[in-house]
Amino acid sequence: MSNELMAVYNRAPVEVERGEGAWLHAADGRVFLDLVQGIATNGLGHTHPALVSALTAQAGKLWHVSNIFRIPGQEELARKLTQNSFADVVFFGNSGSEAVECALKAARRYHSVNGAPERIDIFGFAGSFHGRTYAAVNASGNPSYLDGFGPCLPGYEQFLVDDMDAIEAAIHRPTAAAVIVEPVQGEGGARALDEAWLRRVRELCDETGTLLIFDEVQCGMGRTGKLFAHQWFEGVEPDLMAVAKALGGGFPVGACLASAKAAQGMIVGVHGSTFGGNPLAMAVAGAAFDIIAAEETLANVRDVSAHLKAALSELVARYPDIAVDVRGKGLLVGVKLVTNNREMMAIARDHGLLIAGGGENCVRMLPSLLLTREEADEAVVRLEATFAATRTKAAVPADAAA
C-alpha cells in the first residue's frame, strides 16, 4: 500500500490492471465478476468498444479549450439530455458533487433573482448521499462526513423520509428554497422512494414555490430501466437534477439539468468550470448516452433486474441467518444482511465477486446495464458460495478461530 496517498480510503487488496465488460482483472491474475463498476459509473461495463473508439478518436483531435469557446460535443449532449427529460438547459461539470453543487446554487439564485433572497433553506433526507463538497455534505447531513470540518453551513436541514408532517411544515416555511432527494437512495442502501411520496413532495413544492432537486447521480442514466429514475412516475418531474456517474461511462463528467424557470438566476459569470464539458468528456458521454438511452439497453436492465432479484430473493430465503431482504430498483440492487456487510464484501472477493457496501448494513450490486442473464446467474452462484462461507465462519467459535 502506498504511503504517499492521502489516507481517506480503506482500499481493498486488489491491484487492478484491466477490465472488459462485466469482468475486472487484477495484476496478480485474479479475475472478478464486477458488480460494482466504479460504483455505478461504468454503465456499459469496462472498456466498451464504442466508448474506447469515441475517446481515442477525440484524443487525436482536441482535448481541452475551456468554456470560452463553443464546444460542439457539449451542445449535442445538452440537446440529447433536454430532448429526453424535463430540462431546458444543462451545465456540465466533472463529477456528481459538482452537479449537486450547481443545482443547489441555482435554487438559491432562483429565489434571489425573484426578489426572495431570504429563501435559502435546503431540505435533505436521512440516509441520503450527495457527494463530498461542503454543500453536498451539508445537504446530506451525515454526521460522519461533517465531523471536524467546522460549522455546518447555514440553511441546510434533514428530515426522515417517513416524517411527512415535518417535511410538509418545512416546505411551507417562508425561507424554503429547495428539497433535494435521490428518487432511489444509493449509498443509503438501495432504498427506492415510492410514487406517492415523490408526488406529495412535488405537490408541496408547487404549492409553495419551493424548487425540487432530484439527485440522480447514481439512480439515473438507465440504472432503473428508464433513462431517469423519476420517469417511472408520470408527471413527477424535478426543477433541477444532478446527473453524473454513468453519464460518462467511466470518464469523469457530471451535469446539472434545469428547467428554464429554475435556471433563471444562472446568468453569465455566476458559475463556471475549467474542465467541465471538455471535448474528451463530451465525446465519451455522447457515445454512452446513445447506447444507454436505447430501448434495447433499458429493456435489458428491466429484464436482468427481474431475473437477478428473483434469484436473490430465493437465495435470501434459504439463508435467513445471513440476509433478510432484497431491495432497490432496476440494476441498483441491495441485499440487506444479518451479518456484517464489510466482512461479506471481503468474503465475496475471495469468491471472485465484487459487490459494494451500503447503508443499513446492505451490500449493493450496481453492474453494467448490459449485464447478461448468464452473468447475473454466475453472480448468484458466487454470492451463494459467499453466504455458505459466511455461515461456516459464523459457526466456528471465536476462540477456535483465533
Ligand X SMILES: Cc1ncc(COP(=O)(O)O)c(C=O)c1O
Q: Considering only 44-52, 125-133, 149-157, 324-332, which stretch makes contact with ligand X by CB under 6 A?
A: 125-133
Pick out residues in 219-278 that bind ligand X (CB under 6 A).
244
Residue whose C-alpha cell is 439512480: 219
Helix-helix angle 195-208:164-171, to 10 degrees: 20
Half-sphere exposure for 308 (CA within 13 Å, toward CB): 34
Contact 190, 327 (CB under 8 A): yes
Instruction: For the chain, report the end-to-end CA distance as a whole number of angstroms.
Output: 26
Q: Considering only 182-190, 228-236, 288-296, 335-343, which stretch makes contact with ligand X by CB under 6 A?
A: 182-190
Q: Considering the candidates 121, 215, 226, 239, report the single residue annotated as catalytic.
A: 215
Q: Does 218 bind ligand X (CB under 6 A)?
A: yes
Between 219 and 304, name the residue whose CB sits nearer to ligand X. 219
Q: Is 37 left (phi over 0), alpha (psi -120 to 50) or beta?
A: left
Between 209 and 357, name the residue whose CB sits nearer to ligand X. 357
Between 215 and 237, name the residue whose CB sits nearer to ligand X. 215
245 catalytic, yes or no? yes
In the shown chain, the binding pattern of residues 285 to 324 toward ligand X, with x for contact by CB under 6 A and - for none, equals: ----------------------------------------
Q: Considering only 66-74, 146-154, 199-207, 213-221, which stretch makes contact with ligand X by CB under 6 A?
A: 213-221
Q: Does 217 bind ligand X (CB under 6 A)?
A: yes
Q: Does 35 bind ligand X (CB under 6 A)?
A: no
Q: Considering only 103-111, 214-222, 340-348, 370-378, which stretch makes contact with ligand X by CB under 6 A?
A: 214-222
Between 127 and 352, name the residue whose CB sits nearer to ligand X. 127
Q: Considering the candidates 32, 129, 214, 289, report the single residue annotated as catalytic.
A: 129
Neighbouring CB atoms inside 10 A of 272's CB total 13
Q: Which of 86, 123, 125, 129 binds ligand X (CB under 6 A)?
A: 129
User: Nearest distance from residue 230's CB to ligand X, in Å?
Assistant: 13
- How far is the C-alpha of 378 from the C-alpha of 315, rounded, in Å? 13
- For CA atoms 106, 108, 110, 112, the dihedral sign is negative
Between 281 and 347, name the residue whose CB sits nearer to ligand X. 281
Between 94 and 390, name the residue whose CB sits nearer to ligand X. 94
Q: Considering the candidates 105, 226, 245, 329, report the single residue annotated as catalytic.
A: 245
Q: Does 192 bind ligand X (CB under 6 A)?
A: no
Between 227 and 311, name the residue whose CB sits nearer to ligand X. 227
Q: Which of 34, 121, 187, 237 binds ligand X (CB under 6 A)?
A: 187
215 catalytic, yes or no? yes
Determine whether 165 is exposed, middle or buried from the number of CB atoms within 10 Å of its CB (0-12, 13-18, 19+): exposed
CA dihedral 195, 199, 201, 203 (to 10 degrees): -170
Contact 72, 256 (CB under 8 A): no
User: Nearest distance from residue 78's CB to ligand X, in Å?
Assistant: 19
Q: Which residues does residue 92 pair with via DSSP β-bridges, in sequence order?
A: 255
Q: Which of 95, 231, 297, 339 binds ligand X (CB under 6 A)?
A: 95
Contact 319, 387 (CB under 8 A): yes
User: Nearest distance from residue 20's CB to ligand X, in Å?
Assistant: 24
Q: Which of 100, 198, 255, 316 binds ligand X (CB under 6 A)?
A: 100
- What is the biggest distance separating any 2 CA atoms in the chain, rounded to whole angstroms? 70
Q: Does 328 bind ligand X (CB under 6 A)?
A: no
Q: Which of 96, 189, 249, 279 binds ligand X (CB under 6 A)?
A: 96
Between 85 and 95, name the residue whose CB sits nearer to ligand X. 95
Cite the active site residues.
Answer: 129, 215, 245
Binding site for ligand X (CB under 6 A): 39, 95-97, 100, 129-131, 182, 186-187, 215, 217-218, 244
